[in-house]
């Protein structure tokens, strides 16, 4: 960078000379000066002018680079990278005013040391030392933060800064368009790191820098809003596609049992058909079976709707596992009997073992996994339920003897309405919603759910629940 005042800087020389305090350089009474004194005085003026022009050029260069930033983070990163030559610092932070100036919140921080006072730290302006800086519009120097902290023991922000290793600070108000918008904090690990000259340097670019930061803040806000709108539009599009898929599948899954019910009912009301009592009973049993399937589907749909809308309400309580699981296994043993299958429990449980969960929802998860295990396993299979207490969790595993899960189908396994290549071995029906509901119920309890499987060797579905008793 050139510092010559006779090469392209004539205009700056004229502008600067008008504002130079000539009396500081001994030029207020030239008639009384000797030629040597005049020569020395002019040398002082020239040196001071060169320094001022050099600083101004550096400020212009820095502001040009800072202003090239688009978002607030880009602008402040440029500020941190370029300002070292003018103001000493190990850390720069920016805090912006919110709620009509009632709250100040840390928005950006960059330091060559580990930070403790990070983004989103917030404090009320009323009664704070920052309030006076806004009122006066003047920067503040604290050249011994440890001494300041001894006087202001309640100052959490100062305590955090000292913990970071900072020992002095220069706090500058940011005012854009006549309105305060926040603060710029320079901090140094050296005591007495700041002088009046640093305030003067900041004030030369204060208005421009404040405007650039405000521009970056607005740009960042607009960018975030645009991103949020695009994300919402994408989610709405996905929901619309899901709705269309949902309606199509619901129509398909309800049409089949309704058709069976209609046909069965027609046979019952057709007086020309002479049905025996046994035939009438079989037809009524078919109507009941199909009605139950539709009811199960509708209840599952309502569960999915409830969960997806974020309105799933859990009513957790302490559940004695031994009794709870015994009832569930007795129920599923009866359902598995027609296929000649059996369900076994392996768990070292006594009356003291409990889990904190919503009993209806936990049963819903186990019912789904156990019924699927029976449904997809061949006749005369053995289904195992393993329950094990592990550090911090209860782990439940349902092991079947079915065809297993193909690797490319695992990602779709817990999605609503997904139909995989495996088919129930006894012609049983499936809504395609059970595992999707199970996943959301388990996650709502703070647990995880998954599957371990090798094609042709069955599958083990597992889920965990937090152990509140550890």
Residue 13 scores a pLDDT above 60:
no
Q: Which CATH number fits domain 317-466: 3.30.565.10, 3.40.50.10480, 3.40.50.12140, 3.40.50.1360?
A: 3.30.565.10
- Spatial CA neighbour of 96 closest among 71, 68, 66, 121: 121
CA–CA gap between residue 129 and residue 34 (Å, rounded): 52
Q: Count the Cβ atoms, other than its own, within 10 Å of residue 10.
A: 10
What is the Cα–Cα distance from 143 to 122, expressed in whole angstroms?
23
Going by pLDDT thresholds of 50, 70 and 90, the confidence category of residue 49 is: low
Asked which of 101-105, 268-272, 380-384, 398-402 is least confident by mean pLDDT, the reply is: 268-272
Res 291: pLDDT: 85
Mean pLDDT value across residues 143-167: 94
DSSP letters spanning 292-339: HHHHHHHHHHHHHHHHHTT------EEEEHHHHHHHHHHHHHHHHGGG
Q: Which residue, chain included where needed, has tokens 């001494």?
A: 147
Contact 184, 174 (CB under 8 A): yes
Burial 75-112, CB ≥16 within 10 A → b, else e: bbbbbbebbeebbbbbbbbbbbbeeeeeebebbbbbbe
pLDDT on residue 420: 63
The string of pLDDT tens digits covering residues 388-439 is: 999 999 999 999 998 888 887 887 788 766 666 666 665 666 666 788 888 9
Dist. CA 404–CA 417, nearest whole Å? 19
Nearest residue to 374 (alpha-carbon basis) of 398, 347, 344, 341? 341
* C-alpha pair distances (Å), 320 with each of 58, 327, 442: 74, 11, 18
Kindly report, residue by residue over 183-216, the tens digit of the pLDDT. 989 999 999 999 998 898 888 776 777 777 777 6
Asked if residue 399 lies in contact with residue 424, where contact means CB atoms within 8 angstroms, the answer is no
Task: Say if residue 7's pLDDT is above 70.
Answer: no
Instruction: Give yes or no for residue 12 having a pLDDT over 60.
Output: no
More confident residue, 467 or 36: 467
- Select the more confidently predicted residue: 124 or 50: 124
Say whether pLDDT at 464 is over 80.
yes
pLDDT digits (tens, 9 = 90+) for 324-348: 999 999 988 988 888 999 999 999 8
What is the predicted pLDDT for the residue at 50?
A: 66
pLDDT in tens, 88-131: 999 999 898 989 889 999 988 999 999 998 878 899 999 899 99
Q: What is the pLDDT of residue 5?
A: 41
pTM: 0.47
CB of 469 within 8 A of CB of 354? yes
| Mean pLDDT value of segment 284-310 | 77
Q: What local confidence, expressed as pLDDT, does residue 3 receive?
A: 40
Average pLDDT, the chain: 81
Query: Cα torsion for 349, 323, 338, 341, to the nearest 10°?
Result: 0
Beta strands 179-188 and 91-98 are antiparallel
If one compares 3 and 85, the residue with the highest pLDDT of the two is 85
Alpha carbon distance 335, 67 (integer Å):
72
Q: Which of 169, 181, 185 is nearest to 118 (CA)?
A: 185
Cβ atoms 182, 104 nearer than 8 A: yes
Identify the band that residue 62 occupies on the pLDDT scale cut at 50, 70 and 90. Answer: low
Percentage of the chain lying above the pLDDT 90 cut: 32
Confidence of residue 6 (pLDDT cuts 50, 70, 90): very low
Residue pair 420/455 in contact by the 8 Å Cβ criterion: no
pLDDT at 108: 87
Judge whether residue 241 has pLDDT over 70.
yes
* Gap between the Cα atoms of 179 and 134, Å rounded: 10
Report d(CA 463, CA 388) in Å as an integer.
Answer: 11
User: Which strands sit side by side in the sheet containing 342-346, from one edge to the other?
Assistant: 342-346, 382-390, 393-399, 459-466, 449-453
* Per-residue pLDDT reduced to its tens digit, 169-183: 999 998 888 889 889
Q: Measured at the alpha carbon of residue 92, what is the angle toward residues 203 and 128, in degrees to the nearest 5?
A: 75
CA distance 402 to 453: 10
- What pLDDT sits at residue 1? 40
Question: Between 234 and 1, whose confidence is greater?
Answer: 234
Looking at the chain, the whole-number percentage of residues with pLDDT higher than 70 is 78
The residue ranges of every structural domain in the chain are: 2-67, 72-223, 317-466
Of 405, 419, 412, 389, nearest to 452 (Cα)?
Answer: 405
**72-223, CATH topology level:** Beta-Lactamase (3.30.450)
Q: What angle do CA 252, 255, 261 make, to 5 degrees?
A: 150
Please enumerate in sequence order all residues whose Cβ is within 8 A of that of 404, keeping only pairs 6 or more positions apart, or say none.
422, 453, 454, 455, 456, 457, 458, 459
Distance from C-alpha of 201 to C-alpha of 139, rounded to nearest angstrom: 11
Q: What is the DSSP string of 330-358?
A: HHHHHHHGGGT-EEEEE----TT-EEEE-
């Amino acid at each position: 960078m050139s510092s010559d005042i006779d090469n392209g800087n004539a205009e700056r020389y004229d502008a600067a000379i008008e504002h130079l305090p000539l009396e500081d350089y001994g030029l207020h009474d030239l008639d009384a000066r000797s030629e040597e004194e005049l020569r020395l005085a002019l040398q002082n003026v020239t040196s001071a002018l060169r320094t001022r022009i050099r600083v101004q050029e550096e400020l212009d260069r820095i502001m040009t680079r800072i202003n090239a930033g688009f978002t607030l983070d880009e602008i402040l990163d440029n500020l941190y990278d370029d300002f070292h030559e003018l103001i000493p610092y190990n850390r720069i932070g920016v805090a912006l005013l919110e709620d009509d100036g009632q709250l100040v919140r840390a928005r950006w921080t960059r330091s060559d040391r580990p930070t403790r006072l990070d983004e989103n730290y917030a404090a009320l302006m009323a009664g704070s030392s920052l309030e006076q800086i806004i009122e006066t519009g003047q920067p503040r120097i604290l050249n011994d933060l440890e001494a300041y902290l001894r006087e202001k023991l309640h100052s959490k922000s100062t305590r955090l800064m000292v913990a970071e290793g900072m020992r002095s600070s220069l706090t500058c108000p940011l005012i854009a368009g006549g309105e305060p918008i926040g603060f710029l904090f320079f901090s140094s690990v050296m005591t007495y790191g700041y002088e009046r000259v640093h305030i003067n340097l900041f004030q030369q670019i204060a208005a421009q820098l404040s405007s650039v930061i405000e521009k970056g803040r607005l740009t960042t806000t607009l960018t975030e809003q645009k991103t949020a709108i695009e994300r919402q539009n994408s989610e709405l599009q996905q929901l619309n596609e899901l709705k269309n898929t949902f309606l199509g599948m619901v129509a398909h899954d309800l049409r089949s049992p309704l058709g069976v019910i209609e046909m069965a009912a027609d046979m019952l009301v057709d007086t020309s058909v002479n049905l025996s009592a046994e035939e009438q009973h079989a037809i009524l049993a078919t109507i009941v079976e199909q009605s139950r399937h539709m009811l199960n589907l509708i209840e599952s749909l309502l569960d999915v709707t409830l969960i997806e809308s974020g309105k799933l309400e859990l009513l957790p309580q302490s559940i004695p596992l031994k009794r709870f699981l015994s009832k569930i296994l007795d129920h599923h043993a009866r359902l598995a009997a027609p296929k000649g299958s059996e369900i076994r429990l392996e768990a070292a449980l006594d009356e003291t073992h409990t889990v904190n969960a919503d009993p209806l929802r936990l049963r819903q998860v186990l019912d789904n996994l156990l019924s699927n295990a029976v449904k997809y396993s061949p006749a005369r299979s053995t289904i195992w339920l393993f329950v094990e207490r592990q550090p911090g969790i209860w782990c439940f595993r349902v092991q079947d003897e079915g065809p297993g899960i193909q690797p490319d189908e695992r990602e779709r396994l817990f999605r609503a309405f997904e139909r995989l290549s495996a088919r129930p071995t006894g012609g049983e029906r499936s809504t395609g919603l059970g595992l999707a509901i199970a996943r959301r119920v388990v996650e709502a309890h703070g647990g995880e759910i998954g599957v371990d499987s090798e094609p042709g060797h069955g599958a083990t579905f597992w889920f965990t629940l937090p152990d509140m008793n550890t």
